[in-house]
Amino acid sequence: TLPDTSLSPAEPKGKRPPVLVDGVTLNGPTLDIREAESFLRDAMPIIMEEAVRKATDVKEKVCEWRSPEQLKEVLDLELRDGGEANPKILQRCRDAIRYSVKTGHPRFFNQLYAGLDPYSLVGRFITEALNPSLYTYEVAPVFILTEEAVLKKMIEIIGWTEGGDGLFSPGGSVSNMYAVNVARYQRCPNVKELGLSAMPRLVMFTSEECHYSVAKAAAFLGIGTKNVYVIRSDKRGKMIPAEFEKQVQRGALPFMVNATAGTTILGAFDPLEEIADICERHSLWMHVDACWGGAALMSNQHRHLLKGIHRADSVAWNPHKMLLAGLQCCAFMVRGQTDILQRCHSANASYLFQQDKFYDISYDTGDKSIQCSRKPDAFKFWLMWKALGTKGLEERVDRALAMARYLAEEIKKREGFRLVMEPEYANVCFWYIPPSLRIDYDVAPVVKERMMKKGSMLVGYQPHGDKVNFFRQIIISPQVSREDMDFLLDEINTLGKDL
Amino acid sequence: TLPDTSLSPAEPKGKRPPVLVDGVTLNGPTLDIREAESFLRDAMPIIMEEAVRKATDVKEKVCEWRSPEQLKEVLDLELRDGGEANPKILQRCRDAIRYSVKTGHPRFFNQLYAGLDPYSLVGRFITEALNPSLYTYEVAPVFILTEEAVLKKMIEIIGWTEGGDGLFSPGGSVSNMYAVNVARYQRCPNVKELGLSAMPRLVMFTSEECHYSVAKAAAFLGIGTKNVYVIRSDKRGKMIPAEFEKQVQRGALPFMVNATAGTTILGAFDPLEEIADICERHSLWMHVDACWGGAALMSNQHRHLLKGIHRADSVAWNPHKMLLAGLQCCAFMVRGQTDILQRCHSANASYLFQQDKFYDISYDTGDKSIQCSRKPDAFKFWLMWKALGTKGLEERVDRALAMARYLAEEIKKREGFRLVMEPEYANVCFWYIPPSLRIDYDVAPVVKERMMKKGSMLVGYQPHGDKVNFFRQIIISPQVSREDMDFLLDEINTLGKDL
């Protein structure tokens, strides 16, 4: 039986004689936690005022542009032997915030994430303060269980009635890598031990509109980028199933397809049902990269965009994008009652995953991962979900997509603006053509430069296929209003009309 | 020229008539940022009191043990349709903190990280609030430059006078994967396109004491775990160079060795100079996994442990371990003026890495990475380094290692305790043998269970080779005092003497 003594407090400083070891005096802690707290208390109002309140205020700038050379001078980046006093460090905090881009600002439309959710942010502050690593129940009990709860619900929403398994990864790119690894392990279980040099040439499929991480995964995992067979997409950016089936016949050893639900540029959804049919006919692993489009599953009105996703073998879905869970929050999930994640990735480290622990070690989920230390990225999402409810998340998605629809209609009404295509998701792609230019209208880079230097908003642009640079407006945040859509168009015209 | 109008504020609500699209009313933002701020203001004192002050107080528990089943009941994990009001969410925050392990507590000795540094924590709060992603200068100017500054200094400290390149990755395991990918690309540049099935069988080397991520990397990157040739280590856990050279002769295509500076269990350092000699003779890529031991480079007294590291081709080093930068903070670096990271990992996404930008796009470093979204993990380290100076970091390392030395001497003095070996780093490995047991003394799991249920401290244990379970005490945090070392030994005896 365990002697039930109370916790012995540390001896007060100086009670025991100081010990000198290797020139270091060892009594007492050398970090005074009260001083540390006092610094935190001084820093928090700066963070709240500059990085939260002002950073989300539509009347403030989205960015305070400085060139790399100018910014280096302002920031004094060099690391020196001596330390700096707290007031100096607080000024550095202010400067870092000032010259950072405010991704929570209502007019930050530049990437596939935006906005600031207070519940998620509090979840992140908690995990940063507690600094847990998600490998064993013993050191991260709350975060192991919240990850499990979130995955269970996401799997239910995908529609996998047979259940599933999963984990959170540091980015959708890494999730797609997991998919490739699990798919090839399923096809050739001895690849884990023997490697690809002992295998026939494995071939995978994806559409030309897929995210670039699919190519990165093929390179990194040793498949080779040339063994990614690229399938043509239609004009809307969707994979053409007949082209897919043609490619499958091309020989070697086909093992998986990556279907995209929500492409990066156009926001297109591949036809999942037809892709699933082909996968069944040819025994291919079907992975759905729903990192961007997965949010539509939360909406009764829009989940039809992913019809057939319940037939996928694996899904990547990033709640840090449209659901505002904060970078990073990326789920990778596999269908069914399966231990494939464990079998495929485990290394059975005896110092971490001891088999003689006193609790149920199935909660030590770390060996499913390719990481050792892993951040508890599900917790912030869990806390936000608790606060908003599934309905609240659904409303956010519905509103973002309605806002995209509004913007598309406005673009049609305005002279000098032209839609690249009708949006079916939150990507609204359009050109702006200043009055003087009617033929050669590659103006997006110049308008972008002007908006950044002014700091009024941030919108992405890119060329695509045979199309010259167009803007890609992404609508996500619940802080965005219809007025911001009108502003966007007015502002582009203001910035570019003299071109 | 750019019309220099001021930022147009959003129209006040209600000025323009509301627009209804797909059943959603679109005027005004739907997230009230003042309400959001008010929630944040309510949550911060809870975080400061529970997750910072109490969590680092030696008089509080390290953990409040509940079994998975009990904890599920307490936390009410299920995600429902309806949301919950703020007071309920704040209670959930309190509960999450209460049942989490306090890794910043002075008596958390369980992993290769511990403690809480206030500067790093403020850095993390700032980046969580700003939510940047580190791919382009345009959206993360401050964080691109601080990463560059930190890498430059770390490269200088490694001793690469010819310079180097690098990036921060989500964990030492991923850094080791980068090493494998870069090394094989250097040897076989067409592997990126053609894949491993078109290559001869590539073989890599590591010691039996290496971290398990080397095996995971070999599996994930398609090398195969059987193509990792495991080299014997000596009794202290150091790779035996002669055994390494023997293995190199074994045929196939050897391309790299992973040398470990600071092994996970014993804290051993492989002999880097001799390994470098062998690599030169056989044209092998030399990677040093200094994730744990790299901190010794900050100390004039202890950097001899890594003598020869300047000859490595790549180094992985995690400042989130002994330097307390907070999870995650993991640098992967390659030697010399080289663009190999870019060539090896790039996919040239045109929507992100546009070539027609108005600034120097060499600052758009994202294509060096296997990730797309990437957290700005260098910033917190940069801020802490600025506050403490190189000298302050050095003092922390010196003190932790002096403390380990003190503990080892105490263990030798005490009956019932036995060192597994003399420590050369911050790992102190020892057995505890209760009075009644002299032959079969595998007591660590039971003592561990008792300490967790009591919550008095957390120490890791594991078996190793032919040795039964022993404790591995890790000393890192500047909050740890000599008194905590004495407590550790007293407490183990208290918990285990009746066994």
B71: chain A residues, CB-CB within 8 Å: 141-142, 145
| Per-residue confidence band for A438, with pLDDT thresholds at 50, 70 and 90 | low
pLDDT in tens, A287-326: 999 999 999 999 999 999 999 999 999 999 999 999 999 9
Q: Looking at residue A31, what is its pLDDT?
A: 85
A462: chain B residues, CB-CB within 8 Å: 350-352, 354
Is residue B2 pLDDT above 60, yes or no?
no
B484 touches chain A (CB under 8 A): yes
State whether A96 and B126 contact (CB < 8 Å): yes
B450 touches chain A (CB under 8 A): yes
Closest residue, chain B, to A494 (C-alpha) = B3
State whether A143 and B19 contact (CB < 8 Å): no
Which range (A238-252, A361-375, B432-446) has the least confidence?
B432-446
Is residue B441 pLDDT above 80, yes or no?
no
Q: Looking at residue B438, what is its pLDDT?
A: 57
Q: Looking at residue A7, what is its pLDDT?
A: 55
Q: Looking at residue B1, what is its pLDDT?
A: 39
Average pLDDT rounded to a whole number, residues B205-218: 97
Ranges of beta strands (E only) in B369-446 are 417-419, 427-432
Share of chain B above pLDDT 70, in %: 96
B88: chain A residues, CB-CB within 8 Å: 386
Q: Looking at residue A440, what is its pLDDT?
A: 63
pLDDT in tens, A451-464: 999 999 999 999 88
Instruction: Work out the burial of residue B358: count CB atoms within 10 Å of its CB; fewer than 13 is exposed, 13-18 middle, 19 or more buried.
Output: middle
Q: Determine the residue type at A284.
A: L
Structure tokens at B461: 């244990």
| Closest by CA position to B331, among listed B108, B474, B463, B146 | B146
Which range (A351-365, B114-128, B435-449) has the least confidence?
B435-449
Per DSSP, the three-state class of B158 is helix
pLDDT in tens, A85-131: 999 999 999 999 999 999 999 999 999 999 999 999 999 999 999 99
Is residue B436 pLDDT above 80, yes or no?
no
Is residue A335 pLDDT above 50, yes or no?
yes
**Chain B: closest CA distance from residue A440 (Å):** 16
Interface test with B, best of A372, A428, A499 (most B CBs within 10 A): A372
Per DSSP, the three-state class of B136 is coil
State whether A96 and B383 contact (CB < 8 Å): yes
State whether A119 and B39 contact (CB < 8 Å): yes
Per DSSP, the three-state class of B368 is helix
Closest residue, chain B, to A394 (C-alpha) = B81
Report yes or no on whether pTM surpasses 0.80: yes
Chain B, 197 to 216: residues with Cβ < 8 Å from chain A are 197-202, 211-213, 215-216
B301 touches chain A (CB under 8 A): yes
- The helix (H) or strand (E) run that includes residue A155 is helix A141-158
Backbone angles phi, psi at B153, to 5 degrees: -70, -40
Interface test with A, best of B372, B401, B420, B447 (most A CBs within 10 A): B372
Closest residue, chain B, to A490 (C-alpha) = B8
Share of chain B above pLDDT 90, in %: 83
A347: chain B residues, CB-CB within 8 Å: 212-213, 215-216, 219
Average pLDDT rounded to a whole number, residues A175-195: 97
Q: Looking at residue A439, what is its pLDDT?
A: 57
Is residue B7 pLDDT above 70, yes or no?
no
Who contacts B70 (Cβ-Cβ below 8 Å, separation ≥6)? none
A24 touches chain B (CB under 8 A): yes
How many A×B Cβ pairs under 8 Å? Answer: 669
Interface test with B, best of A59, A196, A487 (most B CBs within 10 A): A196
The average confidence (pLDDT) of chain B is 93
Instruction: Work out the burial of residue A332: count CB atoms within 10 Å of its CB; fewer than 13 is exposed, 13-18 middle, 19 or more buried.
Output: buried
Q: Looking at residue B440, what is its pLDDT?
A: 63
Interface test with A, best of B128, B292, B410 (most A CBs within 10 A): B128
Closest residue, chain A, to B12 (C-alpha) = A483
pLDDT in tens, A371-408: 999 999 999 999 999 999 999 999 999 999 999 999 99
Choose the closest CB to B75 out of A100, A142, A445: A142
Chain A, 325 to 384: residues with Cβ < 8 Å from chain B are 326-328, 344-345, 347-352, 354, 356-360, 363, 370-375, 379, 382-383
pLDDT in tens, A46-60: 999 999 999 999 999
Spell A463-473 as b/e; 16+ CB within 10 A means b.
bbeeeebbbbb
State whether A129 and B121 contact (CB < 8 Å): yes
* HSE toward the beta carbon, residue B415, CA cutoff 13 A: 6
Q: Looking at residue A101, what is its pLDDT?
A: 96
B289 touches chain A (CB under 8 A): no
B267: chain A residues, CB-CB within 8 Å: none
CA A254 to chain centre: 28
B163 touches chain A (CB under 8 A): no
| Per-residue confidence band for B313, with pLDDT thresholds at 50, 70 and 90 | very high
pLDDT in tens, B12-60: 444 667 888 888 888 888 888 889 999 999 999 999 999 999 999 999 9
State whether B371 and A171 contact (CB < 8 Å): yes
B1: chain A residues, CB-CB within 8 Å: 498
Place of tokens 């790779």: B239
Is residue B321 pLDDT above 60, yes or no?
yes
Is residue B98 pLDDT above 80, yes or no?
yes
Distance CA A345, CA B172 (A): 16
pLDDT in tens, B360-369: 999 999 999 9
Q: Looking at residue B26, what is its pLDDT?
A: 86
Taking only Cα atoms into account, the Rg of chain A, rounded to an integer number of angstroms, comes to 26
| Per-residue confidence band for A355, with pLDDT thresholds at 50, 70 and 90 | confident
A475 touches chain B (CB under 8 A): no
The average confidence (pLDDT) of chain A is 93
Q: Looking at residue B402, what is its pLDDT?
A: 95
Distance CA B277, CA B218 (A): 24
ipTM of predicted assembly, 2 dp: 0.94
Q: Determine the residue type at A470.
A: F
Q: Looking at residue A4, what is its pLDDT?
A: 42
CA A54 to chain centre: 24
Cβ pair A496, A443 in contact under 8 A: yes
State whether B216 and A22 contact (CB < 8 Å): no
Alpha-carbon torsion (A297, A302, A306, A309), positive or negative: positive
A189 touches chain B (CB under 8 A): no
Choose the closest CB to A372 out of B150, B172, B478: B172
Average pLDDT rounded to a whole number, residues A346-363: 89
B301: chain A residues, CB-CB within 8 Å: 22-23
Distance CA B218, CA B238 (A): 21
Choose the closest CB to B389 out of A82, A460, A469: A82
State whether B101 and A141 contact (CB < 8 Å): yes
A177: chain B residues, CB-CB within 8 Å: 220, 370
Average pLDDT rounded to a whole number, residues B437-459: 86
What does the DSSP 8-state code read for residue B238?
A: -
Q: Looking at residue A2, what is its pLDDT?
A: 43
Taking only Cα atoms into account, the Rg of chain B, rounded to an integer number of angstroms, comes to 26
A87 touches chain B (CB under 8 A): no
Chain A, 141 to 160: residues with Cβ < 8 Å from chain B are 141-146, 148-150, 153
B468: chain A residues, CB-CB within 8 Å: none
pLDDT in tens, B243-276: 999 999 887 899 999 999 999 999 999 999 999 9
* HSE toward the beta carbon, residue A214, CA cutoff 13 A: 28
